[in-house]
């Protein structure tokens, strides 16, 4: 992705609106248009964790407002230079359909 011009970050915490539940998508990226997205890689029959399910559902909604003290996380804000500021909905920040989340499935060992 970096070779194709994307800014990529890993080990980034994404919070739900309560500011305590979070997950770490495998890849957080920013494309050439400045839009961010998340990629989660699952192997074999692995499913999303409870926290991933909760947080990904919220960031997929355009009306979601991230908690004021947790824009994404300090490392995420620096890594992807997000256009989001506290109190904005994702639609206001330029994500009318929420932040895109891609679940990439790969075979597990023995598959």
Q: What is the pLDDT of residues 56-68, one digit of tens each?
A: 888 887 777 766 5
3-state DSSP assignment of residue 80: helix
> How confident is the model at residue 80, as a pLDDT?
47
pLDDT digits (tens, 9 = 90+) for 6-60: 888 887 778 777 777 888 899 988 888 878 889 999 999 899 999 999 888 888 8
Local structure of 29: helix, strand or coil: strand
pLDDT for position 49: 94
Question: Considering only CA atoms, which of 90, 105, 104 is closest in space to residue 57?
Answer: 90
pLDDT of residue 104: 93
C-beta neighbour count of 101 within 10 angstroms = 18
| Euclidean distance between CA atoms 81 and 90, whole angstroms | 15
């Amino acid at each position: 992705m970096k070779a194709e011009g994307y800014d990529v970050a890993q080990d980034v915490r994404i919070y739900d609106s309560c500011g305590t539940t979070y997950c770490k998508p495998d890849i957080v990226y920013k494309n050439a248009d400045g839009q961010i997205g998340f990629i989660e890689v699952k192997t074999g029959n692995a499913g999303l964790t409870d926290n991933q399910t909760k947080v990904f559902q919220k960031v997929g909604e355009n009306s979601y407002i991230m908690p004021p003290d947790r824009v994404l996380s300090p490392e995420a804000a620096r890594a992807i230079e997000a256009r989001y500021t506290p109190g904005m909905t994702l639609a206001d920040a330029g994500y009318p359909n929420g932040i895109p989340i891609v679940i990439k499935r790969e075979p597990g060992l023995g598959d």
